[in-house]
Amino acid sequence: DTGVSQDPRHKITKRGQNVTFRCDPISEHNRLYWYRQTLGQGPEFLTYFQNEAQLEKSRLLSDRFSAERPKGSFSTLEIQRTEQGDSAMYLCASRQTTGELFFGEGSRLTVL
Amino acid sequence: AQKITQTQPGMFVQEKEAVTLDCTYDTSDPSYGLFWYKQPSSGEMIFLIYQGSYDQQNATEGRYSLNFQKARKSANLVISASQLGDSAMYFCAMREGNAGNMLTFGGGTRLMVKP
């Protein structure tokens, strides 16, 4: 499968725990995006990487959230001290310099 | 103000008929792109069609066409000959020329195709 892959697909955690999601973009894509989607809403932009550089961060990305793309390939999104309001689908997407955005199937987080 | 507005939370369409999903947008940037994505229950966002603000003709991709009315700031998706597999959430999105590279999404429309 050469699409965008995300892991894990589902995560259930207790409030206060840390969680980490991984995204493997399409191999030749230099741009990688994280979005968050809550139930019944459209995706909301969180952050964007061009190669290993994090170029944009949304105000939604509080200091409990950190994203990395250390070698310009896969990316991780970590949420520290999770809160119930963090429960959402976390979507990763990638693209080349031009062209359409390809999304993964998402990582669904449930915080109890 | 909302940048992307989808006013239809849910729509029903009879199989084999055409359906129009509404999308209006708000931007002051002369350069922008409009996108439609389909999201089935599996969660993956599937790209359907793209319209650039300077494109002279309406975009078409198979059974999908985009009714682009620039003066009215609308970019409605038309699906012809609906199929049961078209049942899904549909999202309209915009990328503005001066907003980096992010897409701004609308709230979505759930389309249900009746057999």
pLDDT tens digits for range A6-41: 999 999 999 999 999 999 999 989 999 999 999 889
User: Is A56 within 8 Å of B100 when comparing Cβ atoms?
Assistant: yes
Residue A96 to residue B9: CA distance in whole angstroms: 32
Minimum-distance CB partner of A42 among B43, B47, B108: B108
Q: What is the DSSP letter of B57?
A: S
* CA distances in angstroms from B60 to A4, A52, B48, B63, listed in the order given: 25, 35, 10, 8
d(CA B5, CA B28): 16
Contacts of B8 by beta carbon, 8 Å cutoff, 6+ apart? B21, B22, B109
In eight-state DSSP terms, residue A87 is -
- For residue range A50-78, what is the model confidence (pLDDT) as tens digits? 999 999 898 888 899 999 999 889 999 99
Contacts of B104 in chain A (CB under 8 A): 45
pLDDT in tens, B46-86: 999 999 999 989 999 999 999 999 999 999 999 999 999 99
Beta-carbon count within 10 A of B30 CB: 10
> In Å, how far are A39, A60, A83, B91, B94 from B25, measured between CA atoms?
22, 22, 33, 12, 8
Beta bridge partners of B50: B35
Confidence category of residue B97, pLDDT binned at 50, 70, 90: confident
Reported as a single tens digit per residue, the pLDDT across A79-112 is 999 999 999 999 999 988 777 889 999 999 999 9
B40 touches chain A (CB under 8 A): no
- Is A79:A88 a contact under the CB 8 Å cutoff? no
Mean pLDDT of B2-29: 95
Chain B residues in contact with A40 (beta carbon < 8 A): 107-108
B93 to chain A, any CB pair closer than 8 A? The answer is yes
Helix (H) or strand (E) holding B61: strand B60-61
Residues of chain B in contact with residue A42, where contact means CB-CB under 8 angstroms, are 4, 91, 93, 105-108
Check whether B101 has a pLDDT greater than 80.
no
Q: Are A76 and A8 in contact (CB under 8 A)?
A: no
**Phi, psi for B85 (deg, rounded to 5):** -70, -5
Select the residue of B42, B50, B103 nearest A105 (Cβ to Cβ).
B42
